[in-house]
Structure 1
Amino acid sequence: MERTRQGPRSRYREQTRAEIKDLALRQLAEGGGTSLALTRIAKEMGLSGPALYRYFAGRDDLLNALIRDAYDDAAAAMARAAARSAKGSRGVRARLHDLAEAYRAWAVAQPHRYLLIQGDPVPGYVAPADTLERARAVLGPFLPHFATGNPGPAVAATVAEMTAWLAADATVGAWVGRYAPEVDAAPDAGAGEALGTAAGEARAASALAGAVLAWTQLHGSVSLELAGQFAGMAHRGSTLLGAHMDLLADAFGLE
């Protein structure tokens, strides 16, 4: 009986929260992160300021929700792209292109959400700690592809630094293992445990270095495109991003 009484109230609360977030996203689309104003949202909804605070404790609480939603939506888009790409007989290089284009497509379709999570920080705002795992989920699909690589001299220093990072932070190794569980596999059935562990560590470092380098290329290219920096130039954003992925694939010996 209690559940029946609570149901409609809970649904109304979620609907109201969703409407508040929609209006907040509209403000972000119009003026960026600094334009978010709860008083204006309350006015558009016909609510008093205190009434709005029943749904979100303040600006930072609302930003937390918007950022979590954006990361989760981007991660879901990347997971769908990875699943589609895996269905075909495409090589690793082609799958990198699929992932990169999915990342770009999500950002171009909703630049205000992309800039909320990848643009300039909102003054005075500190994102909650759980956004780290959400951000890692966006890049996770890149990890298994770079785990299969054979990193060359151009990325050797980055791989070395990622090896040290893996040794220093267990959460990073857990992240890699979640998306590329094969990195701990021995190279062949007769290999000793120490060799298997060393090979697994090398693959994990390759996976991590590739994903981090892919992120820097994605972020740089997509952010420049969304900022209009490519206007008047002859190339398309997708062409430039594709070239970056090919360079990374070459550096990691991916086919």
Structure 2
Amino acid sequence: MTTGGPRARYREQTRAEIKEIALRQLAEGGIAAIALTRIAKELELSGPALYRYFASRDDLLGSLIGDAYQDLAATVGEAAEASVKYTLRHRLLSLAGSYREWAVRQPHRYLLIAGTPLPGYSAPPETLVQARAALGPFLQVFESAQPGPAVLPVVEQMAEWARRDPAVAAWVAHYVGAPTGTDHAGRALAGAVMAWTRMHGVVSLEVEGQFDGMGHEPHTLLEVEMNALADNFRLA
């Protein structure tokens, strides 16, 4: 909800219109198609006037990326709430399904955050926090898992990651409570990161059209991948 006086409301409305046009350009031609000059022309603004709302093209991209991560995190969070009473395996499948559905529904936004990085672009520092929020519910699924031998090397490395990086330990603690030990954090992180890698592989190939003409349904492939991961972590 926009707060403040008329000037503040007008500013937020204009920023929203700029982002709406940029998203349309993104859907039509990818990141390279986002052009501030064309946005300014459509809104009947001068170039200098547009820069009062976004300091640069990178500033605009950062806002679009942040919005996408927040939207994805909200979608995954809703799936987590809806499946909280089910088994851990069912919850994992539900979270992964919501991740895929969000991406398929708006592939241009998914590719903005998960596609090929734009040369020379550096995302704002807060982007990392926003990205981790989308994986937070996955930490909750794996916190009490019993990882099998095949994934133990990853669990050990993730436990070490949490040990040496306070921000990572805080991320885990935020979603699963204060870790009782490095094994606890290692299980949660390993499961969440491995779920992300499998989802990214399947979903990215799907939204890029790489599965077109093949004889399978991408959602079935994703379910198989998630069930295999659940087996590795002995999720009921």
TM-score bracket relative to the smaller structure = over 0.9
- 1:188 corresponds in structure 2 to none
In structure 2, runs of 5+ residues without a counterpart are none
Q: Please point out which of 102, 105, 129 is paired with 1:106.
A: 102
- 2:73 corresponds in structure 1 to 75
Is the 1:147–1:183 contact (alpha carbons within 8 Å) kept by the matching residues of 2? no
- 1:190 corresponds in structure 2 to none
In structure 1, runs of 5+ residues without a counterpart are 185-199
Whether 1:230 and 2:211 are equivalent positions in the alignment is: yes
The one-letter code matched in structure 1 to 2:201 is G
- 1:16 corresponds in structure 2 to 14
> Aligned ranges for residues 1-255 of structure 1 at < 5 Å?
7-86=5-84, 88=85, 90-181=86-177, 183-184=179-180, 200-255=181-236
The one-letter code matched in structure 1 to 2:105 is A
3-state SS, counterpart of residue 41 of structure 1 = helix
- For residues 69-114 of structure 1, what are the alpha-carbon distances to aligned partners after superposition, in whole Å with 9 as ceiling and x for unaligned? 111111111111101111x4x2100000000000001111111111
The one-letter code matched in structure 1 to 2:79 is A
Residue 25 of structure 1, CA deviation:
0.4
The one-letter code matched in structure 2 to 1:39 is T
Distance in 2 (CA, whole Å) between partners of 1:168 and 1:201 is 11
Residue 201 of structure 1, CA deviation:
2.0
Is the 1:34–1:123 contact (alpha carbons within 8 Å) kept by the matching residues of 2? no
Scaled by the length of structure 1, the TM-score of the pair is 0.89
Distance in 2 (CA, whole Å) between partners of 1:28 and 1:8 is 30
- 1:192 corresponds in structure 2 to none
3-state SS, counterpart of residue 5 of structure 2 = helix
3-state SS, counterpart of residue 253 of structure 1 = coil
Residue 183 of structure 1, CA deviation:
3.7
Distance in 2 (CA, whole Å) between partners of 1:173 and 1:11 is 38
Is the 2:163–2:182 contact (alpha carbons within 8 Å) kept by the matching residues of 1? no
Compare CA radii of gyration and give the structure with the larger one.
1
- For residues 197-238 of structure 1, what are the alpha-carbon distances to aligned partners after superposition, in whole Å with 9 as ceiling and x for unaligned? xxx321210100000000000111100000111111111111
Aligned length, in residue pairs: 234
3-state SS, counterpart of residue 175 of structure 1 = helix
The one-letter code matched in structure 2 to 1:64 is G
Alignment RMSD: 1.2
Is the 2:40–2:50 contact (alpha carbons within 8 Å) kept by the matching residues of 1? yes
Distance in 1 (CA, whole Å) between partners of 2:105 and 2:5 is 34
Residue 182 of structure 1, CA deviation:
6.2
Identity of aligned residues (%): 60
Scaled by the length of structure 2, the TM-score of the pair is 0.96
Following TM superposition, the consecutive aligned residue runs of length 4 or more in structure 1 with deviations greater than 6 angstroms are none
